[in-house]
Structure 1
């Protein structure tokens, strides 16, 4: 059985929608896209590289899969896109007709909780979820997430989709914390079972 880690950039008020660029995710009239720009530094890049370098299989919601791989594939050769394309990827979608455009991708068609629970049982590799807020919220409520690797940015965005919605209390244990030179706090929490 594998473990599931959620890797997210969040604002101090818990917003995880559209951190990378203005046009990343405007659902619900969100106009603050790109809010994490200007906070990257060597510490954050090194940490992200460590996580990707560990070789986990990646799990995405369908929308995030198309957006992340589409964007990074369009910006030209770089180490991040090489890792993304080379990694084993699982894409969660309610539709069995979902087309997957990138190599090493497998569709998990059906309801997220049941398809990801089955993947967690059968996979020997750790699973890393990037973005995919709706997916993360449903897996969190179902108790399938084992670990959170959060990059908490020193900004209050004020609106947008938050990482956690309404739900039951979940206790977390701090495993590691790393401050960056730009004020981002990288924290790793394990879910207390």
Structure 2
């Protein structure tokens, strides 16, 4: 699951100091667009998860905030209880403080393929990590919440090196504040064609 702007930026949606890497000055861009409909959608999505997969930076952000959530917080309580798998070379050898969190080993793709055979694993945020998983063919679905915002700078979900692929839309909803929440299922490679009056496809 990723919060994304219209121009594909996924950096720092939740607050000014969430991720200032490379001088990013737009942190918190998603917050004004949250409403009960979007919160309910996030809650329903998280409820279906059996485990959470995170890159290092997103893990550190989540581990600093979600443990503060009470048992009456449906999202926070679920995230705190469920198994969490962290892909990070930097954290190797360290003990993870967040409840039920553990580090993935060197063969991240192999471990995730094994883990997701009988459970639903969700990756939240972790844009760079998601790109690596896409290149390795581990991602089955994309759940993107696209906000009616353009920033012009910041880390993008689909950067250079993204493997071309085609997806089918499985579910979609638009909130009253204009956030488009769409679930895409990976279908295969990209198909090509031509259009215009000379092709008969116009």
Given the two structures, how large is their TM-score scaled by the length of structure 1?
0.89
- What secondary structure does 1:109 align onto? coil
Give the C-alpha shift of residue 80 in structure 1. 2.4
Structure 1: 5+ residue stretches without partners: 1-6
Q: Which one of 103, 108, 115 corresponds to residue 115 of structure 1?
A: 108
- What secondary structure does 1:158 align onto? coil
Q: Which segment is superposed worse, 151-160 or 71-80?
A: 71-80
User: Aligned residue for 2:133?
Assistant: 139
4+ residue runs over 4 A deviation:
none
CA distances 1:110-158 after superposition (whole Å, capped 9, x unpaired): 2xxx313322224421110001111101111222111011100001011
Give the C-alpha shift of residue 76 in structure 1. 5.5
User: Aligned residue for 1:158?
Assistant: 152
User: Aligned residue for 1:3?
Assistant: none
The count of aligned residue pairs is 184
Structure 2: 5+ residue stretches without partners: 189-202
Distance 1:188 1:119 in 2: 20
User: Aligned residue for 1:27?
Assistant: 21
CA distances 1:70-116 after superposition (whole Å, capped 9, x unpaired): 12234666332211110111111115313200111121132xxx313
Q: Which one of 169, 178, 182 corresponds to residue 174 of structure 1?
A: 169
Q: Which segment is superposed worse, 15-24 or 56-65?
A: 56-65
User: Aligned residue for 1:89?
Assistant: 84
User: Aligned residue for 2:192?
Assistant: none
Given the two structures, how large is their TM-score scaled by the length of structure 2?
0.85
Distance 1:69 1:26 in 2: 18
User: Aligned residue for 1:15?
Assistant: 9
Decide which structure has the larger Cα Rg and report it: 2
CA RMSD of aligned residues (A): 1.6
